[in-house]
Amino acid sequence: MNFSRRNIPPGWYLHIHPQGSPYFSNDTWRVVTSNDITNVQIREAFEDLFTKFLEKFGRHLELLADYEVSMQIDEDTLDNYQYHVMDHQTRRVITFPRGEWNEHDEVPYWSCFSEYPMHHHLPPAAELDMVTSLVYFSSEYILGNRKTTTPFSLEVGLKFISLLKTFRQREGQTARSAAYD
């Protein structure tokens, strides 16, 4: 993506993922995307498709207290989109295949969250849950338990540790657990 911060439309914010990729958020719409919304053609198509998404699924979103929509449009055709609704209160990803509510477990939530980590703070309970999971994850892999019930792979677990470190550094905190070292 090659753009100037001056091209960012009102209501949109630019964020840089810890790995260097840019993404955008809109607090009013409660949406995040890696689409280049500084490109007028892409932004107009995105806004049109997001409006259609809200017309179709908005009644479901009204049931959620703290949600955010992750949406990507096909920048080549400008007519298809993929989405995930992240329910921050329950830490679940929700989709609506065939118009029906479909709630996923916590693992897809953290995967979505790790794609767009820099525009909000972790809720206190989420951080404690994540630390607990990472301590369990670390001990399972250190002990070499081959029948582990850890819900994510070594690679994903290390990404989560890196993500949590980034949050803490950004908030001026220091790592307080040996699980991060």
Element (H, E) at 59: helix 40-61
Strands 31-33 and 12-16: unpaired
Express as a percent the part of the chain with pLDDT over 70: 86
Question: What average pLDDT does this structure show over 125-139?
Answer: 77
Q: Render the burial of 25-44: b for 16+ CB within 10 Å, e for the rest.
A: bbeebebbbbbbbbeeebbe
| Distance in angstroms (rounded) separating the CA atoms of residues 103 and 126 | 18
Taking only the tens place, the pLDDT of each residue in 80-126 is 888 889 888 888 888 877 667 778 878 888 888 888 887 766 566 77
The strand pairing partners of 72, in sequence order, are: 82
pLDDT for residue 173 is more than 50: no
